[in-house]
Amino acid sequence: MLDTVLLAMVTLLGGMLFPLRKSMPELSFQLSLLPLTALYLALVLAWFGAGSKRASGLFARLHDMPLSPRFSMAVIAFFLVLSTGMTVYEGRLFSSMGYSMSPAGAVLLLASLLAVVAVLGFSSGGRHLGWSVLVSLAAIQLVSIRNFPLDPARSDMLPLIEAACKRLLSGLDPYSEYVIHDWLRLTYLPGLWLTYMPAVLLGIDPRFVNLLCLASAFLVFRHSALTAGREAVVPALGAVFFLNPWLAFRHDVYLPVVILQIALFSAAVLQGRVRLANAVFAWALCTYQFLWVAFPFYLALQYRRYGSRAVLGTLAWAAGGVLLLVGPFLAWSAQQFYFGVIRSWRGAFNVETINLSYWILGIVPLRLVKAVQAGLLLVFCALTLRRIVSGRSFLAAATAATILVILTNQLIWHYFFIIPPLYLLFHAVAPAPDRAGGSLPGRTDPCCLMTGD
């Protein structure tokens, strides 16, 4: 039960919106964020403390308390209320862009989904309750696609990705300049925007790719929970992440691709599927910079379990991914790629939510922020790499390191904080620390290296 409560608090606090920010002096706004930043870090520490072998007393009892179907139904209902309420809020907020969601429509949607929850929750002892999360996720995303048109005035991400795909299909270098509401360059790595190519080829809304990615990520999580014998946590924990209101609010971003990648490599690591983990990491490293953060810890785990040859194999997979996905665009125009992916963000600074970077910039010049980030990450790696002994410790390190990098970044948007709870979601279904052998086979099990299973 405690896992559910802590995950909910981390997820909701991390994605919090601050609509009054523009009416506040910047210093006052940043001061108001300090206690929230401290609370966020305390909640993450509480998560790892509650799940450790040293946990005792009330913490341990709450952590070990089984999740009843009724409790899970209450969690699903709570997040359904938040998500459907969010559709009404953004319908009003962006009505000038063609958004439309009436309170009556939201109530009808909510009532329909709660009926699904009730039917699945009260039948067969609640064994199929988890499927209500998938149904609800799909319904909310489909409503967003139908009622909320993509408008670059709100978010230029998916329109820019569509334009890049079309430019590539025309035989032109996608890493060029575009005018989509404003002038901008393509700043995304190829593994990200190429994922949307099927939607462009089919002439459909790119958010259908998002829906497919989110649904697939949920199924991967469910399979991981079943494999670990923790099927009971799927409805509650699944609802906390996949029905959180920030996913409903930011239906217009590319993050579902990243969510699917994290789900796939987390599940592969927990299940000892080395080849699959290598392949997904090769794709992920060419997709999103925040995913680079987890890679050193995966290499450490590979070395711990299988030795240096496995690490070289993983690096070969990564190099192959870069050669296949990034290489052609570097060969096409390395300068354009550099200007788009790297130089575009030089000198940029914007933090709209909890952070440490505003205060770091009071000491360090903006041009040195990346160096400070790299230094902090190196120190963290030096302190933790030797302790990566299982899939569970890999996920813990990936969570902490990702939070460290986000909090010290020169650009911090609220949807960045959707990433850490996903690592926690899989950490919740990882083998407990007192189970022998962690989560991957040992070095003496060569069959895993041969088959990837």
Q: 387: which 2 tokens?
A: 């302790």
User: In 10 A of CB 351, how many CB atoms?
Assistant: 20
Average pLDDT over residues 378-393: 94
Helix (H) or strand (E) holding 200: helix 197-202
Number of domains in the chain: 1
Contact 7, 75 (CB under 8 A): no
**Lowest-confidence segment of 107-111, 262-266, 345-349 by average pLDDT:** 345-349
Please compute the mean of the pLDDT values over residues 311-330 and round it to a whole number. 96
Query: How much is the average pLDDT of 116-129?
Result: 91
Q: pTM of the full predicted structure?
A: 0.91
Residue 432 is predicted with a pLDDT of 72
**Radius of gyration over every alpha carbon of the chain, rounded to an integer in angstroms:** 22
Q: What is the pLDDT of residue 290?
A: 95
Q: Is the dihedral of CA 327, 328, 329, 334 positive or negative?
A: positive
Please, what is the average pLDDT of the chain?
A: 90
56 falls in which pLDDT band (50, 70, 90)?
Answer: low
Residue 267 has pLDDT above 70, yes or no: yes
Confidence check: pLDDT of 69 > 90: no
Q: For 395-411, what is each residue's pLDDT tens digit? A: 999 999 999 999 999 99
Closest CA to 313 of 325, 323, 299: 299
Pairing mode, strands 182-185 and 177-180: antiparallel
Average pLDDT over residues 231-257: 95
Q: Which amino acid is at 167?
A: R
Q: Report the Cα 34 to chain-centroid distance in Å.
A: 23
Assign 6 to helix, strand or coil.
helix
State residue 453's pLDDT score: 35
Dist CA 160 CA 180 (whole Å): 7
- Residue 183's region, left for phi above 0, alpha for psi from -120 to 50, else beta, is beta
DSSP H helices in 342-390? 357-360, 369-384
* Contacts for 363 with CB less than 8 Å, ≥ 6 apart: none
DSSP structure class, residue 184: E
Span between the terminal Cα atoms of the chain, in Å:
32
Domain hosting residue 325, numbered range = 2-451
Q: For residue range 156-189, what is the model confidence (pLDDT) as tens digits?
A: 999 999 999 999 999 999 999 998 888 899 999 9
Residue 38, pLDDT > 60, answer yes
Q: What is the mean pLDDT of residues 35-44?
A: 96
pLDDT band, very low/low/confident/very high, at 243 (cuts 50, 70, 90): very high
H-helix or E-strand spanning residue 180: strand 177-180
Closest CA to 80 of 55, 109, 48: 109
Confidence of residue 67 (pLDDT cuts 50, 70, 90): confident
C-alpha to C-alpha distance for 215 and 238, rounded to whole angstroms: 11
Identify the top-confidence range among 127-131, 191-195, 351-355, 369-373: 191-195
Contacts of 157 (CB under 8 A, 6+ apart): 252, 253, 254
Cα separations (Å) of 109 from 38, 104, 132, 254, 263? 36, 9, 13, 25, 28
| DSSP labels, 242-293 | HT-HHHHHTTTSSHHHHHHHHHHHHHHHHTT-HHHHHHHHHHHTTT-GGGGG
- 339, 185 contact by CB (below 8 A): yes
CA distance 336 to 187: 10
Number of other CB atoms surrounding residue 387 within 10 Å = 13
Neighbour tally for 433: CB within 10 Å: 16
- Residue 61 is predicted with a pLDDT of 57
User: Could you tell me what percent of the chain has a pLDDT over 70?
Assistant: 92
> What residue type is assigned to position 291 of the chain?
L
Three-state DSSP state, 342: coil
On the question of pLDDT at 113 being above 70, the answer is yes
φ and ψ of 92, to 5 deg: -80, -40
- Of 17-26, 359-368, 391-400, the poorest mean pLDDT is in 17-26
pLDDT of amino acid 202: 97
Tokens of residue 246, six digits: 């920030």
Token pair for 54 = 């040293």
d(CA 79, CA 75): 6
Cβ within 8 Å of residue 123, ≥6 positions away: none
